[in-house]
Every structure is written in C-alpha cells, then in structure tokens.
Structure 1
Amino acid sequence: MMNCIFLGSDITSHAEVNTLPIAHDEYAPLDDQFGGASCLVGGNPYFRPFRKNDFQLTMSLLRIPILLYTQKFPGKPNDISFGRLAKWKVLDRLHSQAWADFERVALEMPADDFFMVMDGLMHRSEHHSILDDYVKGGSSQDLIRLIRGHLNIHKGWSIRTADWADEVSEDQWKEFYRHLDLAQEDLSGTFEHPTFQQYAFMSLLFIARGKGDKEAGQNLYQSATTQFAESPQIFQAYMNLMTPRWCGSAEEMLEIAKSQSGGLRTLGLLMYLVEMYSEYFYEDYLGAKPKFRAAHQDLFVSWAKDFNIGEDEGFLTIYTRNYLACVYNAFGLKRECDQVLKSLAGNISDWPWIIFGPENARDLKLYRMAGIV
C-alpha cells in the first residue's frame, strides 16, 4: 500500500503543508505555464471552455503550435489502455478483421484489462472506423451490442460538441439524444459475460449523466452494485454523475465517498477534492489554488493518513494515483505531484485531467513529468 502522505514525502502535519509554496507551479496541468491557452484547444466533449479573459487566452493560444512542435514538447498521445491494447494485440486483430480472435480474447481478459482496452479504443476516435467494421462483421451479439452502444454515446457527444448548453442548436440536441437513446437500447438488458454486463452498467451511467437523469443514474447504480459492489469503474462513473456540474452536489459526492471502504473510499475522497478544485478553477483559474488550499487542506491532511492506494497497475490504482497527483497539483505541491506521476511510469489517464481542458497541452506536460519524453 502506498505510504501517506506519499512516496517518501516528509509532509506529516498541517503546519508543514502550510510552508510549501503555491505560486507559479510549473507542474500545473494548464493554467500557469500555458496561460490558460489549452482551454481553447481541441474537442473534449466533457470540457466547457472559459468565457472570460479572452484576450489573454487568445494571445496565449498563439504559443501552442510552437510548444507542440519543439523537441521540448514533442506531440505524443497517451495510451489510456495502459499497454493493454498491445498486450492483447487488439489493434492487430481488428485491423486484420480477425473477428473471432478478437471476440475470444475479449472473453479471456480480466475485467480491468477489458475496461482499459475498451477505453483505449472508444476514447480515441481514430479507432472508431475499425470498431464500426467489427460491428458489421462480428458474430458475438453481446460484444457487438456493447461496442455499438458505446460508440453511439461518443457519436452523440461529437454532435452535441463541448459548447455551452445555450449554444447548442435544437438539431444538435435532437441528434445527441437520438444517439443516447440508440446506445441505451443496446446497453440495456442482460449480458451473459459478467465483464460485459459490468461495462454495460458503466456505459448506462454515462447515458444518465448525458441526459441529466439523476433518478435513472441512482437506480442504475443500485442495480449495478448488487452484482459488482467493488467495481471501481462503476463507482467512478457514478461519482462523475453525482458531481455538482452534472446531477448531484458536493455533499452527495462526499457522502457517497465516505460510505465506501478501502481503495474505493480513497478514490472517492480524491474525486471529491478534484471536483471542489474545479469549482474554484472555473470561477477564477488564476486564484484557484490559494482558495482551494485555504478551504480544503485540513480535510486532505486528515484523510490522507488512512488512504489506501495499491502498488499494482490495475484500474483502481492507476486512476487513484492520477487523482492524487491532480490534488497535489491543486494544492501547489509540485514535488509530491511529480513523484506520484513518476510512480505511474507513463500511465497517465484522461480523468481527472480532462476536467481542466483538452488533451494536447496536458498530455505533453504530463509525459514530460513522467519522464517518458
């Protein structure tokens, strides 16, 4: 289990935390070094761009192409399958249209590996065409339903875009909901393979979030946890549904997190802290860290003594460490953030960093910190 506070850090008290600097944190994923510019780059469907400081952000935006194409910040997308696509030779099987072989390994994978493979496929649009080919040519109806359903979620979001709700056209809303309804048709009902059923529950929670249907999400979570009580993927999806920006509140998030034990409790508390930081970030991103530090560092120090973080490379450990690094960053603790990122050995997840802006600038900085570029 990971030592708290972590990775050899000698920070053990409120007073010691107070002595650490928070100004101009070079490890901030977005705000300081990039001047907020990356908030205007890319097409993250879960990200809502700033509407203030337009001149500053636009001028900073001009720096991005330079940073992207220098040796110091080489463009290199992160692998959110965390090596599982390569381990199971998934892309080779799909590109060669070895459908039966792909279906066989999908059944053989441990649940964590299956979720990571699916993330690596679904959340990178360059893979969607080969998944469409599989849907047309495969034979496993359960796997076809699962993939087609999740693809429709992504297609819906690509049509809706990341614009503010009042900037989305009526036609966009109609197509968005149409795709979510199509996804729901595929993902509802039962799946024979337990891992497929678990993935379907998680995907249905994504749909509930997209529709803003809190009651449906709560009912889904109750049903899902009767079968998969310890699923970090279902828990993470539910916590994201219950954020203040979607269907819940800070109080509900904290209550859900505290109702868990072990690693899920740790992940939940860190997700709560990241969400609280995001509230400050979107209100006043230049002043977010001092405000967050003043409001939440006592809670963090008290909770951290009981954090339970594994040493493996499973889904729960990888995401918990990414959230921990994000929380350290939010407190301005760049040494601790750097240590956690290095411990991840390149396993940088989209969440929670995706909350604060699109991928390019973030990925470049995180890869640099992780020591793999």
Structure 2
Amino acid sequence: MSAPTPPIGRPLLEPTEHFPALAALRSAVRAGDARAVRAAFAPLTDEDDRALACSVVARTPDCETFLREAVAGHPGDPLLRSLLADRLIRIGWDIRTGQRAKHVSARQFEQLHAHLRQAEILLIDVCAEHPRYALAWYLRLITARGLELGGGEARRRHDRLAEHHPHHYSGQSQLLQQLCPKWGGDWDTAHAFARDRARAAPEGAPNGALVAVAQLEQYLDLAGNRDKAAADTYLRAPEQHTAVLEAAARSVLHPTARTDAHQSVGAHNAFAAVHSVAGRHAEAAPHFRALGDRATEFPWGYVGPDHAAAFVRHRKTALAKG
C-alpha cells in the first residue's frame, strides 16, 4: 500500500471530508431530495461503506422531517426506513449522551428508549420483508444495546446479520461494545470475539481493528477506575503488543487492503490510537501516514477531551519517531 503525501493540514474529522461522495449525499439530504439520496447509495456495494453513509445521513441535523416524508412517499423502501431509523437512534443517543449510566437521568433514559422503540418498529418490518438487508440488522444491534435487551438478543441479531454478511465490520463493532463489561459482558469474551473475527476476515479487511478497539476499551475501563498504572501496564504488555501488530499486518497494513474503503479510515485511527497511548509512537507512524489528515472522533475521544488535538499531538510525535 503506497503512502500518501505526509499530513500538512488540520485534522478532517467528518467522513464527508474524507470521501466527496458522502458530501454529495449530505447535500441531497439537506435539499430533501429522496431520489438523489437513493442514487447516492446505489454504487455502494460494500455493506460497511453503506453503514458509514447511513451514519452521515443520521448525523445531518433536523433531517428527520424529510425522512418521515420520504418514507411516507415510499413506504416499501427498506433504505429510507433504515435511514429514518438511524436518525431516530441518533436523536435518542444524543439525548442520553455518552456518559456512563450512573450519570444519565431517568428522563434521558425514557426519551432514549422512546426513540429507539420507534426505530425498532421500522427495522423489524424491514428485516421481516428483507431478511438479508444488512443495514437494518446492523442498526438493530444498536437498538438492542440501548433498549438493554441483553447479550443473548444482541448475539441473535448479529448471527442473523452474519448469515449473509459474515465479515460485517460495523456490525461486529457494535456487538463488541455489547460484550464489554460496561454493557454486561466480560473481557475474556470481548477479546476472544475480536480476535476470532479479525482472523476470520479476509486479508486486507478492516476487521483486525477490533483487536485494537477491545484493548482501548479495557485500558479506558482501568484508567476510569483511577488505576492509570494498571491501565498502562495492561496496554504495554508484550502479549497486547503482539496481538495488535499481528492484527494490523493482516488488516489495513496488508498489501491487499483497500485504501478507498470507508471503514479503513476508522481502522487506521484505532491502530494509531492504541499504539500512541501505549507509547509505541514509531509503530503508530505507518497508520498516521496512511491517514494523512483523516481523523475520526472515535477512538480519539478516549485519548483526550479534545479528540482533534489528541490526534494532532500523537501524529506529530509518531511521525517524528517513525
């Protein structure tokens, strides 16, 4: 994989800044042009690319009115219903905020659940009518977690997704969150799932980043319990280091990796972040070079309160050392 021009600009945090086609999609949403929105999804044959495009729509402020009207005009369209569902999910999660449950009020939970139940109604119908429709099953992994339906139900939904899309990285990322202790799981199960899906995926696929994300989740959990020394010791352990290197070599650093894949940006950011936090700056450098200026809010929000500043700071150190 050839390295792009070294980064010289500000971090680009929006997917619409990474991929011009996604900017055109957002413009179509803002214009209320359902035909153009559907046309923007037509060339996206990779289901992970479709998941990211869906999130771009969902993150467009105040688009729910347009999407409700579009669904009313095309009631059988699975894409439009899924887009509306994702927007409802986004509104609900914004109300809840990203705080741990103990810091979220009963009123916030009530509003989150109300929006997620609306999304579920849409998605249940899509899945019943189109059992292979990856976008709807992926979104139902998010609603399962938010509605606190438990790990068993989340696994069932993931299994239905995996029947037809066994390497759906976005769906696997959602289940990985469910498997972490903060959502009722445990670390052994979370890491085993990440390793298994990384190894099962085709070479060059982004799935290897699941290994890095799982490590960052455990690091954050330890650090959040005011045990920074234990968190650093965990992340810098040789076995964690080896696991990340192997996952990256098989994933986004493999010669067959698609540099135009939407999810490769998030995967490179995950690998860069875990190496940076562990103090392995030279090993973060190849990922920063592949990224250029393309940053993502996750996982840099785990590294510091200002994710753009965290990206810039660690990128500068990595490129100086590697």
Q: Normalising to structure 1: TM-score of the pair?
A: 0.69
Mapped to 2, the partners of 1:325 and 1:210 lie a distance apart of: 29
* 1:128 aligned residue: 61
Say if 2:137 is the partner of 1:201: yes
Q: What residue ranges of structure 1 are gaps of 5+ in the alignment?
A: 8-72
SS at match of 1:109: coil
- State whether residues 80 and 119 of structure 1, in contact with CA within 8 Å, keep that contact through their aligned partners in structure 2: no
Distance 1:177 1:98, change over 3 A: closer
Distance 1:337 1:85, change over 3 A: same
- State whether residues 289 and 332 of structure 1, in contact with CA within 8 Å, keep that contact through their aligned partners in structure 2: no
Mapped to 2, the partners of 1:344 and 1:351 lie a distance apart of: 14
Amino acid at match of 1:297: P
Q: What's the CA shift for 1:278?
A: 1.3
Mapped to 2, the partners of 1:77 and 1:346 lie a distance apart of: 6
Q: What's the CA shift for 1:308?
A: 0.8
Mapped to 2, the partners of 1:133 and 1:314 lie a distance apart of: 29
Mapped to 2, the partners of 1:152 and 1:134 lie a distance apart of: 10
Distance 1:97 1:173, change over 3 A: closer
Distance 1:350 1:109, change over 3 A: same
Amino acid at match of 2:109: W
* 2:242 aligned residue: 301
Mapped to 2, the partners of 1:251 and 1:186 lie a distance apart of: 34
* 1:287 aligned residue: 229
Distance 1:352 1:321, change over 3 A: same
Corresponding residue to 1:366 among 302, 311, 319: 311
Distance 1:274 1:149, change over 3 A: same
Q: What's the CA shift for 1:367?
A: 4.8
- State whether residues 344 and 370 of structure 1, in contact with CA within 8 Å, keep that contact through their aligned partners in structure 2: no
* 1:168 aligned residue: 104
Mapped to 1, the partners of 2:12 and 2:208 lie a distance apart of: 28
- State whether residues 300 and 311 of structure 2, in contact with CA within 8 Å, keep that contact through their aligned partners in structure 1: no
Write the mapping of 1:234-273 to structure 2, written as runs, cut at 5 A.
234-260=171-197, 261-262=200-201, 263=205, 266-273=208-215
Question: Equivalent pairs: percent with the same residue?
Answer: 16
Mapped to 2, the partners of 1:194 and 1:82 lie a distance apart of: 33
* 1:99 aligned residue: 34
Write the mapping of 1:1-373 to structure 2, written as runs, cut at 5 A.
78-81=13-16, 83-84=18-19, 86=21, 89-111=24-46, 112-122=48-58, 124=59, 127-137=60-70, 139-141=73-75, 142-190=78-126, 197-212=133-148, 213-260=150-197, 261-262=200-201, 263=205, 266-284=208-226, 286-287=228-229, 290-294=232-236, 296-301=237-242, 304-305=245-246, 307-310=249-252, 311-312=257-258, 313-356=260-303, 358=305, 361-367=306-312
Mapped to 1, the partners of 2:49 and 2:95 lie a distance apart of: 29
- State whether residues 289 and 330 of structure 1, in contact with CA within 8 Å, keep that contact through their aligned partners in structure 2: no
- State whether residues 341 and 369 of structure 1, in contact with CA within 8 Å, keep that contact through their aligned partners in structure 2: no
SS at match of 1:129: coil
Mapped to 2, the partners of 1:335 and 1:317 lie a distance apart of: 20
Amino acid at match of 2:182: R
Mapped to 1, the partners of 2:86 and 2:50 lie a distance apart of: 14
Distance 1:88 1:173, change over 3 A: closer
Q: What's the CA shift for 1:219?
A: 0.8
Q: What's the CA shift for 1:298?
A: 2.7
RMSD over aligned CA atoms reads 3.2
- State whether residues 180 and 186 of structure 2, in contact with CA within 8 Å, keep that contact through their aligned partners in structure 1: yes
Mapped to 1, the partners of 2:38 and 2:153 lie a distance apart of: 31
Q: What's the CA shift for 1:264?
A: 6.2
More displaced 10-residue stretch of structure 1: 314-323 or 178-187? 314-323
Q: What residue ranges of structure 2 are gaps of 5+ in the alignment?
A: 4-8, 317-322
* 2:6 aligned residue: none
Distance 1:275 1:102, change over 3 A: same
Q: What's the CA shift for 1:85?
A: 5.2
Distance 1:335 1:284, change over 3 A: farther
